[in-house]
Amino acid sequence: MNGIPVISTLLRARRNRPGVLLPRPHCVDGTKGEQKLPGTILARTKRINFGLRNTTDLPENVFEHYQQVIFEKRCTDIFAHPRFERLITELDAGTFMLCGAGIARGIVQAAIGLRKRGFGVVLVTDASIDLGDPLSEMAMSRMETKGVIFRPTDKIVTPALRSTRRRVFRRSGGVRRPQRA
């Protein structure tokens, strides 16, 4: 993640209740379904999980100590978590990149909420899924209207810089080595 601060969410549904993203139960407390996928979570020493607690307290300069902050939630709206609102007001961030599942629910809520608060938002299109929700098309239109930018990963992620060492160039007549200063 190259030291980029990461804000993640974890949806946790109660047992024997319909899911909030799908009509069947999902993300159920105490099951593998409520755990973050391995590729979406950083090393234990680089992350902090704020759980479901309904408080606004945060460690001072949280991103100086952790690269990933995880917010657990019972509903799809990240702004229902009081610590999230506080965190984003204390960040120097100008733009957020969004990805995940549930374009018609949590993603559109986060995107529009961030835009209302004056942040730039980029939806990473090939890292977001709609889960077959019929409201997804309307959600995409709403986000576009609010100024959300849609980009695939390859238009966002920059490759690592190449070495700045001087190279040997071939010319007719043999190999020419770089001159020493």
pTM: 0.72
The per-residue pLDDT for range 40-70, each reduced to its tens digit, is 767 878 888 887 777 788 888 888 888 888 8
Q: How confident is the model at residue 116 (pLDDT cuts 50, 70, 90)?
A: very high
Among 91-100, 132-141, 158-167, the range with the most confident prediction by mean pLDDT is 132-141
Q: Which residue has the tokens 């899924």?
A: 129
Domains and CATH numbers, the chain: 1-92 (no CATH), 94-158 (3.40.50.850)
